[in-house]
Amino acid sequence: MRANPTLTSDTNNPFARIADDVLDLVGQTPMVRLNRYLDVPDVNLIAKVESMNPGGSAKDRPARFMIEQALADGRLCVGDTVVESSSGNMGIGLAQTCAVHGLKFICVVDPNAQAQNVAIIRALGGKIELVDQPIEGDFLAARLERVAALLEASPDCFWPNQYANTDNPASHEAGTIAEIDAAMQGQIDYLFVACSSTGTARGCRDYLRRMGRETKVVAVDAQGSTLFEGAAGPRKISGMGAGRIPDLAKGQIFDDLVRVADVTCVAGCRRAVAREGFLVGGSGGGVLEAVRSMQDTLRGKTVVAIIHDSGSRYLSTIFDPEWVERELGNSDAEVQRLAGLDTPAS
Ligand SMILES: Cc1ncc(COP(=O)(O)O)c(C=O)c1O
């Protein structure tokens, strides 16, 4: 039981400030200590809660930064159209950014896109272009071909290209990790980051190196992802991993690498809810399980885990036992066991 629960009215609270617009709410996300997640008591584990961005994920940061940089240097003008291939958080972040800046947004998706994300992008004013025929079995190639066709058809189109745009890592270097470093007063032994474009991990690592910190940056990737010389294979958890190596990821080296299976991510999500009351998305579950897999070497250390989004975006997948059984082949009992929830919490 918590002693003296209180509802305070604190005038130093950053949330007491009135933001200028929704994009002004991007960043300054909270951090929370996870006391109950691990099996050992002496790891100081802290999560950066990126679902508290207004669009619901860490991707609000690069979406805003890539667009505002392009507006600032004239690559993009008010009234132009932004085109991007995304079926998830980046699409939502871009739709939000474009609405605020008076830009049109076309989001190129394929049939694997989650219906809820597509609905959110539409609700934020984005137009959806559905690509229904893969090129030699590859939907990404088909989506990129459609992006190229849209760019060619209209001179007023701009493609942020999150997988090659260095404004993507720069947004995390200026925001995500600078906030973490300030909150932790530079005292972070390990930072765990899920990877897809590697924008988050790159930006964080570059900041920490520039500041002379000795923090070890652990990249968390999906089994079946081709990042970091991984072998391609089936993957069902959106947000983490890549089917082909993005330009941003080429030659990138981090201090350590942990690959997590899809079911491990699911187990992490279940455990975060059961132990902490924390509804995290699939990559967040994977990151927390990556920490747990190394917990014996992390004893006595301070560890920060970036949690990119919320489990509320995955209610019909990760949090639906029927989906898990059908798509991953794991029963609920197996997930509970992997999550360490079949025995009473110590
Ligand atoms: C939920 C989630 N987690 C992790 C990532 C990985 O972030 P990055 O592309 O910066 O490597 C993404 C990126 O789309 C994501 O949506």
Instruction: For residue 165, report the distance from its CA to the centre of ligand 1, in Å.
Output: 14
Q: Which atom of ligand 1 is nearest to the CA of 90?
A: 14
Residue 167 lies in a domain: no
State the residue range of the domain holding 105: 60-158
Number of domains in the chain: 2
134, with CB counted inside 10 A (0-12, 13-18, 19+), is middle
> Helices marked H in 211-339 — which ranges?
262-276, 282-293, 321-323, 332-338
Strand 81-85, strand 216-222: pairing: unpaired
Establish whether residue 248 lines the binding site of ligand 1, counting it when its CB lies within 6 angstroms of any ligand atom: no
Among all chains, which residue has been given the structure tokens 């899809």? 262
pLDDT of residue 345 exceeding 70, the answer is: no
Domain finish residue from 131, 158, 185: 158
- Determine contact, residues 106/98, Cβ cutoff 8 Å: no
Question: Which residue, by CA, sits nearest to atom 1 of ligand 1?
Answer: 239
**Best mutation site among 197, 206, 244, 252 for ligand 1, i.e. most ligand atoms within 8 A of its Cβ?**
197
Closest CA to 208 of 199, 200, 217: 217
- Determine contact, residues 247/163, Cβ cutoff 8 Å: yes
Same domain, 186 and 293: yes
Q: Report the pLDDT value the prediction gives residue 236, as an integer from 0 to 100.
A: 92
Separation of alpha carbons 91 and 59, rounded Å = 9
pTM (two decimals):
0.95
Give the domain CATH number at 132.
3.40.50.1100
Q: Which atom of ligand 1 is nearest to the CA of 309?
A: 1
Question: Which residue, by CA, sits nearest to atom 14 of ligand 1?
Answer: 239
Same domain, 35 and 79: no
Q: Which atom of ligand 1 is nearest to the CA of 284?
A: 3
Separation of alpha carbons 63 and 214, rounded Å = 29
Question: Which residue, by CA, sits nearest to atom 2 of ligand 1?
Answer: 239
Q: Report the pLDDT value the prediction gives residue 223, as an integer from 0 to 100.
A: 96
Q: Tell me the pLDDT tens digit for each residue of 211-221.
A: 999 999 999 99
pLDDT of residue 155 exceeding 60, the answer is: yes
- Determine contact, residues 61/306, Cβ cutoff 8 Å: no
Same domain, 47 and 195: yes
- The rounded Cα 121 to chain-centroid distance in angstroms is 17
Same domain, 244 and 270: yes
Q: Tell me the pLDDT tens digit for each residue of 202-244.
A: 999 999 999 999 999 999 999 999 999 999 999 999 889 988 8
Same domain, 86 and 206: no
Establish whether residue 96 lines the binding site of ligand 1, counting it when its CB lies within 6 angstroms of any ligand atom: no
Q: Which atom of ligand 1 is nearest to the CA of 281?
A: 1
Same domain, 316 and 188: yes
Same domain, 20 and 133: no
Stretch (H or E) spanning 191: strand 190-194
Residue 297 lies in a domain: yes
- Determine contact, residues 202/162, Cβ cutoff 8 Å: no
Instruction: For residue 241, report the distance from its CA to the centre of ligand 1, in Å.
Output: 8
Closest CA to 228 of 207, 198, 193, 203: 198
pLDDT of residue 140 exceeding 90, the answer is: no
Establish whether residue 313 lines the binding site of ligand 1, counting it when its CB lies within 6 angstroms of any ligand atom: no
